Amino acid sequence: MRNAFYKHSQGVPELLIATPFFSYHEIFDDVLKLNNGCLIRMIVRLGPATSPESLNKIIDQKQFQIRYFTSPQFHSKLYIFGDKVILVGSANLTGAGFQSNREICIEVSHDDERFDLLLKLYNSYWSQADVLTKERLKEYSKLYKNTSNKSGDYDFETEIKNKFGDISPKDGVQVGKKKISKEKIFLESYRRTYQEFLTAYKLVETIYKEDKRRQQPEETVPLRIEIDQFFSFIREMYAKGDTWKTAPILGVAEQEKLIKEKLDDWFSQRWNYLDNTIPEHTKRINHVLSSISQIQNSTMEEIFEALDVCHSIHDRLRFFPGGHETLKKVFTSENELKQIQKVISYLLHGQDDFITRMGTCIFVESYSIKQIGRSAVQELLGWVNKEDIPICNGRTVKALRYLGFNVVVFT
């Protein structure tokens, strides 16, 4: 567990920890030597197995933010390393948990569909937990010391609850706040990951523009949608299956050469889906979703048919016996129209910057829609926007990975 912790801590912008028992502060000395710029957010339980001495060792360090529960119901052990990997299992952040006990943990990688669910769970915990201040830590330290001075009838956990309250996580993945905080726990990691994609896309866009060839006129298909179809061409013709995994990471000059080579292939033939389907899809999705008033005046069925334009949603048909009609039935039964209208209006037309809007709809439970995951959120905004935001989904990033870009690939 300790070796895995060291390995995954390197190079990540933030480390998110949920552990009911904490007494192994020494590990952070080594972690911060390896990654001094890492932000560490930690949720603990104030109780018999959480050392106030260990908390005192880190609370003043600028890299740390600490929150707490007081209830034994908080028993989760989660270690989230940026947006790359999560360790989840039995190990508390104690010397025994990391060095001597026989613990079991598994790694969940960023391309696992459960990765985002665990992020949401952590976000829910973080938003419900109370902030551990130096003043509260002093009070906790006094109670902790009293455990050795009092008689056997001294109930330490009851004293903690009397002092701090019964602070317990709600059931399931819930925000538990009246108002969504502007602090998005995963926003900076997400922003960095998305920026990798955007930088790669911009290079492809620049080369595409310099080529001065188009498959469709701009008034019929916006350039960003045509480039997305170029990525589909790459994925289906050259990056089939898992072949993108073995593609080498290239320098800029090599990337440009490969992109130009594939553009020549792209323009040497017609892409039927772009010619025959994309223009109609562009009209359909914009007719329903291009303004808040249109969204608010649309029915559940109209919105679903518009969303079905997105490959990330349409491709889910393979998981539903009966295909389109079954998916539509599930979608309409699991969601409420007002919630869908609220979320899509915010995503496509909200006042926050577009990465914040996407991050909110991906990671904040009260801004989620059943059957709409990370790829679908990012792709939907790519279809409908006035900011020239490109489509970003699993298919496009796999194509970019094939073209030599070191982008994070997710499903």
Q: Where are the domains of the chain?
A: 2-164, 187-402
Give the separation between CA 275 and CA 380, rounded to whole angstroms: 20
| Residues 219/220/223/227 CA torsion (nearest 10 deg) | -170
3-class state of residue 401 by DSSP:
helix
pLDDT for position 24? 94
pLDDT for position 151? 54
Residues of the chain with pLDDT under 50: 173-184
pLDDT for position 79? 97
Given a contact cutoff of 8 angstroms between Cβ atoms, the answer to whether 67 and 43 are in contact is yes
pLDDT for position 411? 55
Give the separation between CA 57 and CA 53, rounded to whole angstroms: 6
Give the separation between CA 96 and CA 24, rounded to whole angstroms: 9
Superfamily of 2-164 according to CATH: Endonuclease Chain A (3.30.870.10)
The answer for residues whose C-beta is within 8 angstroms of residue 355's C-beta and 6 or more apart is: 187, 190, 191, 194
pLDDT for position 148? 64
Give the separation between CA 378 and CA 194, rounded to whole angstroms: 10
Give the separation between CA 172 and CA 124, rounded to whole angstroms: 9
Give the separation between CA 253 and CA 257, rounded to whole angstroms: 6
Closest CA to 24 of 103, 70, 123, 91: 91
